[in-house]
Each structure stands twice: as C-alpha cells, then as structure tokens.
Structure 1
Amino acid sequence: MSRTPNYLAGYPPSLLAQVQPLIDDGSLGERLARRYPEAHTVRSDGALYEHVQALKARHMRSSPPLAKVAYDSALQRIHQALGTHTTAARVQGGQLKAKREIRVAAVFKEAPAAFLQMIVVHELAHLKERAHDKAFYALCCHMAPDYHQLEFDFRLWMTLRERPASAALSGQASGPLSP
C-alpha cells in the first residue's frame, strides 16, 4: 500500500484499505465526478460573500454579522488550512467593535459545489462554536446533513489533486475531478 496522503491521516485503517485501491487504480476521480457533477458559479469574492450570507441567513440568523468573505490564494500554503475565520476587535469611540471575516482557500473556486458548501458550513459553524467538538459538528450537520461524507469526499478529491504529476501522466488519475 502506498503512503497515506496527509488529507486522509486520522481515518481508520479499515477505511483507508477500501480507498487505497481506488486511488492506486485511478478510478477514484471518476467516482467522485459521478457523485459530485455539479459545478458552481461562485468565482468572485462578491459572489462568495453573497453565497455565505444566504446560507447564514437560512441557518444562523442570530450569529454576528460578517464584515468580509473572500477567497484567499495563499491560505492553503501559508496556514495549512482550507478556510479561516477571524475576529478583529477595534475601538470605535467608547465602544469595542468586532469585525468577523471568513477566508476560503482558492482551491474551492474549482471544486464541486458540494465541497464549497461544506467549507462554508464549516467556517460559519465557527461563528458559534470555536472548537471542533461535538457541538461544532452538530451545527455543521444541522446546516449540511451529509457534512461528514462531504468532508471525507473532499479529502479524497484533494488527495487526487495533490498527486505527483508522474501519476497523472501515467494514466492513474482520470476523470474531470483529477488534476
């Protein structure tokens, strides 16, 4: 069995044993493409902001407002993260104001619509729950009932994207979701 990609670290060996042959024989990209054929049109920061605001209005009306939502091309390389949420406190007059921002890795511009939804749900959940605990994942599943499957499938998709070019050239990576 080849080296387990970092995106799949932490999953049980029995699950990885089922996935590894699909990675090795190149059929995983095709399977993911069939499962997630829908692309999205959320390509700009403005469109991303509107997309996030709509989801927030539907599921988290009482959460704090967002000052900014943007794609970030350096996020994945610098922070080893696919999305971030930040709060910047500023004093305005005699009051302390907090501005909240969500940044999403630029890789999601090309990801299937379901994966963009997954990362947006994840970052919105952090507005109410800071830690990745039971309450956090319950909120994620409230907004996206198939959240855990989406996260796993996204990790598989990223594993295929990060494969060495030699694997792609040898025909082991195939399908529209492959690099």
Structure 2
Amino acid sequence: MKPLKYLAGYPAETLQQVQSLIDAGRLGELLARRYPAGHEVRSDKALFDYTQDLKLRFLRNAEPLSKVCFDAKLKVIQHALGTHTRASRVQGSKLKSKREIRIAGLFKEAPAEFLKMIVVHELAHLKELDHNKAFYQLCQHMEPGYGQLEFDLRLYLTQQDLLAGAAA
C-alpha cells in the first residue's frame, strides 16, 4: 500500500478503505458525486467579499481584515492550504495592526464546500491561534460539517496527486 501523505494519522482501517477506492478507480467518482458544484469565487475581490460575509455572520467582533486573496505560491506539499498573518507597525503614536488571509490558488477550482472549509479554518484563527479544542469547536460552529469536509478535502488532495501522477 502506497503511503497516503494527506491521511497520515488516520486509523489503518480508514486508510485501507481509501486505498480500496483508489485501487478500484472510484475515489474521483465518489468525490464528484458528493461535491458536484463549483463556486463563482474567482477573483481576490470576490474572495474578500465571501470571507467578509462569513466573518460578519460568525465573528462580528474579531479584528477587521485588511486583505484576503488567492495565493498561487502556497504549496500544499508544505502543508499550507491557507495562511493568516498579523502585522503590527507603529504609525506616529499609534500601533496599527493588519490581518491578512491567503488561500491557496487550488481552491479557485475546488468544490464550493472545500473553499468554505478553508476560509472558515483561517477565520477561526482570528479568535484561536492554535489548533486546539476551542479552535475546532469554533470551526464546527461556523461550518457544522467541518470534520467531514476536512477529511474529504484530504481525499480530494489525494485524488489531485493521483491525477498529477497519471499525467506525468
């Protein structure tokens, strides 16, 4: 069984089920059936508006966002599907803080649910910096199916790797 790098840490039984789907050539079909719809968020402005809508709905009191954009330089291999940064600088006698969210460019073409999951993940970092219990509870509050979406995103990334390997 070839190592499934996006599924490290999952139980052996789960890995075997995924490997069975891969061996039968049914992983892509399963994902396409489960997530048939894309999304219309193609530009950085549209992504900013999409993120702001979610932020206003769930995190009204969180710090404002200065920038939200797709970033083609984020590499899945380096475990970065999205990033959030905070930059503080002094302007005169005031301390100014800027918050940015960058989403990997692959989400322009990913199913709508995966885009929402990664945006929810990065928004949760506005309140919780660490991946702790409170962080995942906040993600679950903003997207009730968060846990399943995270797993399915890992399957999607595995499928993308398989397609890239077949094309090479």
TM-score, normalised via structure 2 length:
0.95
Distance 1:78 1:119 in 2: 16
Distance 1:86 1:22 in 2: 37
The amino acid of 1:85's aligned partner reads: H
Aligned: 1:44 with 2:47: no
For structure 2, which runs of at least 5 residues remain unmatched after alignment? none
Residue 168 of structure 1: how far off its partner (Å)? 5.9
Deviations 1:57-95 (A, max 9, x none): 001001000000000001116853000000000111111
Deviations 1:85-143 (A, max 9, x none): 00000111111111000000000000000000000000000000000000000000000
Distance 1:85 1:16 in 2: 30
The amino acid of 2:74's aligned partner reads: L
The amino acid of 1:60's aligned partner reads: L
Distance 1:119 1:166 in 2: 25
User: 2:57 maps to what in 1?
Assistant: 58
TM-score, normalised via structure 1 length:
0.89
For structure 1, which runs of at least 5 residues remain unmatched after alignment? 170-179
1:68-79 map, 5 Å: 68-76=67-75, 79=78
Classify the secondary structure of the residue corresponding to 1:163. helix
Distance 1:78 1:33 in 2: 23
Distance 1:153 1:168 in 2: 23
- Superposition RMSD in Å: 1.6
User: 1:177 maps to what in 2?
Assistant: none
User: 1:145 maps to what in 2?
Assistant: 144
Aligned: 1:97 with 2:96: yes
Distance 2:75 2:114 in 1: 15
Range that drifts further, 111-120 or 155-164? 155-164
Distance 1:17 1:5 in 2: 10
Which structure has more RCO (C-alpha within 8 Å, separation ≥ 6)?
1
Deviations 1:32-71 (A, max 9, x none): 1111111100000000000000000001001000000000
Classify the secondary structure of the residue corresponding to 1:75. coil
Identity, % of aligned positions: 61
Runs of 4+ in 1 over 2 A off after TM superposition: 77-80, 164-169
User: 1:174 maps to what in 2?
Assistant: none
Distance 1:168 1:33 in 2: 19
Distance 1:116 1:28 in 2: 20
1:100-139 map, 5 Å: 100-139=99-138
